[in-house]
Amino acid sequence: MRIGRGVGAPVNLTWFKSSYSGTEGDNCVEIAFDADTVHVRDSKDRDGGSLAFPPQSWSAFVEFAAQQPTGQG
pLDDT tens track for 21-69:
666 666 688 999 998 999 998 888 888 888 999 999 999 998 998 888 8
Q: Is residue 37 part of a domain?
A: yes
**Sheet bearing 2-4, strands edge to edge:** 2-4, 50-53, 38-42, 29-33, 16-17
pLDDT tens track for 6-16:
444 567 889 99
* pTM (global) more than 0.85: no
- What's the pLDDT at 37? 92
Q: Is residue 72 part of a domain?
A: no
What is the total count of domains within the chain?
A: 1
Q: Report the DSSP pairing between strands 16-17 and 29-33.
A: antiparallel
- Give the range of the structural domain holding residue 22, as residue numbers without chain letter: 2-66
Q: Is residue 71 part of a domain?
A: no
Q: Is residue 6 part of a domain?
A: yes
